[in-house]
Amino acid sequence: MTKGNINVSVENIFPLIKKFLYSDHEIFLRELVSNATDATLKLKHLTNIGDAKVEYGNPVIEVKIDKEGKKLHIIDQGLGMTADEVEKYINQVAFSGAEEFLDKYKDSAKDSGIIGHFGLGFYSAFMVAEKVEIITKSFKDEPAAHWTCDGSPEFTLEASDKTDRGSEIILHIAEDSTEFLEESRISELLYKYNKFMPVSIKFGTKEINDPEHTPETTTDKDGKETTEPHRKITVDNIINNPNPAWTKQPADLKDEDYSAFYRELYPMQMEEPLFNIHLNVDYPFNLTGILYFPKMSNDMQIQKDKIQLYQNQVYVTDNVEGIVPEFLTMLRGVIDSPDIPLNVSRSYLQADGAVKKISSYITRKVADKLKSLFNSNREDFEAKWNDIKIVIEYGMLSEDKFFEKSEAFTLYPTVDGKYYTYDELFNKIKANQTDKDGKLVILYASNADAQHSYIESAKAKDYEVLLLDSPIVSHLIQKLESTKENITFARVDGDHVNNLIKKDETTISKLDEEQTKTLDELLKSVIPSDKFQVQLEAMDSTETPFTITQPEFMRRMKEMQASGGGGMQMFGNMPEMYNVIVNTNSKLVSDILATEAKEDKDRLITQSLDLARLSQGLLKGEELTNFIKRSYEMIK
């Protein structure tokens, strides 16, 4: 038997491991199962190239709980180690960087990116174990070895009578970590970290119906049928899928395969995804994966953290910001890259060049897929537009390269349910919606029902009105106005339609200068100036007498602030201001001027204003109650 000290120049590294890695203590199981997987796959490679003269077979990694003995076993059938290799890989390599480790992490206990640094993967076992044993037999014709360490730098290494190839790690679970002796806890961790590992993982057994047994059905004398119960058999409980869909070639997968994998990833998700994007690149970095577009709502607080990051089929995290562009973190699916380490951390992601290339690749791949879907079946793409637009619009705002590509598939829907690309829209409206200064005015509504009367006024002039109702529309149209030449967006209720698209022709007012002045003073004496600005306009006599609008600039700034526009806080305390556009050619205005009693004039103005406010949803509470009461009185 050999005794010795682990090659480490500090008095006791193990308490430090426990202290620094405590917040991530559950990942010890990920590390040990990953090591077992590596040992198994290395043996497969050696047998394939002829360097290992053994039968590879169909190896399994087994995880076992010995609750009574307070032990957890991880057993593999991989290449194993000789005594010399245990000395080299466990005692020396693991702590050759111990001093560097201490220097790097002594002030950063919260850093979770330690696992994997300086060979600490195996030693994460000491976060939960007071003693660890390794019993291992190499695929080479050499004696088995038994290594034991009790959490101090001292170890023992002796011969073992193990005869089967591979390694068994035995963790003597510490008193403060007995949760890892619970079957439910270990099962949870295996499903979380290892459910797609490339080697089958056994955790206990389960009963299933015997596939070779067909239950017999018998009929008694009264004609009643009875079917015998299924015969049960006990089989290994394999908790993982070693060949998940993303590891296969797209040509080998059908739509139903992608759907089945989606349900495997998200068993509680009832809705099917709209479509998927298969990622597969091996230069200048390695990346595979499948991203799914779920049905989206306009809620910007939608649940993120639905994309799972793997390294060689080992689960790393579901926080993929920095790897996946932010606008795509609303998607679901899997990304797997050996170029992203298991100890992934924020600082690493910000500095690593490969990660930036991965992000750019994913952006390009998603844009190419959207373009392909649009070109191959535009009708279907239009049908899905409302479910995917929030991701596309967010991408247009946040990623310039995506914005450039998006012109090929971004749609602009109208209130009538038609869909245009930008070029189609431009060509459709440029003749009719160019104002007297030569600027193209793109009209839009955010709520077709609430803005119905304004939409109808615009349609009466054969203007096209878009329906742009996402919460980031104010940011988006600002971006479009700054990148497209000589265009402006105007919400259809931002002003009277004649003012939204000003033409050369003018309408003559029926009122003379004196009447206009009288009307202006009368209106301003009744309409509160802290909320409304009176605006007299000469329009067709059939147009609405009183119209309420909100100035485009002010409304847009408030919307941008509400949806997270940086620097917009200055508008937060400004009062809501509206314009009251009064049609001087309407019969109602003539009637107001012709009414003799001041009280009756005021009542007509108040009633007209309240009608306009009602149409905009601005009449509420006591004012609405008074309006209804007053309206009944007028009917009498």
Tens digits of per-residue pLDDT, 396-444? 999 999 999 999 999 999 999 999 999 999 999 999 999 988 999 999 9
Q: Could you tell me the two tokens for 558?
A: 């408030």
Q: Taking Cα atoms as reference points, which of 592, 455, 609 lies closest to residue 519?
A: 592
CA dist 138 and 166 (Å) reads 6
Strand order in the sheet with 578-583: 532-537, 578-583, 546-549
Residue 504 C-alpha from the chain's centroid:
49
Please list, residue by residue across 84-118, b when 16 or more beta carbons sit within 10 angstroms of its beta carbon and e when fewer do. Answer: ebbbeebbeebbebbeebeeebeeeeebbbbbbbb
Q: Taking Cα atoms as reference points, which of 521, 526, 525, 524 lies closest to residue 511?
A: 521
Cβ atoms within 10 A of the Cβ of 45, count?
Answer: 12
CA dist 106 and 86 (Å) reads 28
Q: Could you tell me the two tokens for 555?
A: 């409304």
Q: Could you tell me the two tokens for 363?
A: 């952006």
CA dist 290 and 257 (Å) reads 12
CA dist 598 and 300 (Å) reads 51
Q: Taking Cα atoms as reference points, which of 545, 552, 624 lies closest to residue 582?
A: 545
Q: Could you tell me the two tokens for 133?
A: 């044993």
Whether residue 340 contacts residue 316, with contact meaning beta carbons closer than 8 Å, is answered with yes
Residue 503 C-alpha from the chain's centroid:
46
Is pTM beyond 0.85? Reply is no
CA dist 240 and 45 (Å) reads 21
Element spanning 477, H or E: helix 473-483
346 is in an annotated binding site: yes
What one-letter code names the amino acid at 470?
Answer: S
Q: How high is the pLDDT of residue 99?
A: 46
Q: Which parts of the chain have pLDDT scores under 70?
A: 4-23, 92-120, 297-305, 341-354, 562-575, 636
Strand order in the sheet with 2-5: 2-5, 154-160, 144-149, 129-137, 166-173, 71-75, 61-66, 201-209, 232-238
Q: Taking Cα atoms as reference points, which of 270, 317, 310, 316 lies closest to residue 290?
A: 310
What one-letter code names the amino acid at 16?
Answer: L
Q: Could you tell me the two tokens for 63?
A: 């995880």
CB within 8 A of 443, min separation 6: which ones? 433, 458, 463, 464, 465, 466, 489, 490, 491, 492, 500, 501
Whether residue 580 contacts residue 533, with contact meaning beta carbons closer than 8 Å, is answered with yes
Element spanning 574, H or E: none
35 is in an annotated binding site: yes
CB within 8 A of 242, min separation 6: which ones? 196, 197, 198, 199, 200, 313
Three-class DSSP category at 317: strand
Residue 391 C-alpha from the chain's centroid:
9
Q: Which domains does the chain have, with CATH numbers?
A: 12-205 (3.30.565.10), 245-379 (3.30.230.80), 411-500 (3.40.50.11260), 513-635 (1.20.120.790)
CA distances from 436 to 440, 484, 497, 551 (A): 10, 19, 14, 20
Whether residue 331 contacts residue 306, with contact meaning beta carbons closer than 8 Å, is answered with yes
Question: In terms of C-beta density within 10 A (0-12 exposed, 13-18 middle, 19 or more buried), how is residue 529 classed?
Answer: exposed
CA dist 15 and 18 (Å) reads 5
- Cis amide prior to 284 (ω within 30 degrees): yes
CA dist 478 and 455 (Å) reads 22
Whether residue 419 contacts residue 385, with contact meaning beta carbons closer than 8 Å, is answered with yes
CA distances from 477 to 174, 212, 431, 490, 636 (A): 60, 65, 21, 9, 49
Q: Within a 13 Å sphere around the CA of 509, how many CA atoms are in the beta-carbon half? A: 16
CA distances from 608 to 536, 542, 545, 580, 631 (A): 14, 15, 8, 10, 11
96 is in an annotated binding site: yes
CA torsion angle 339 342 346 350 (round to 10): -10
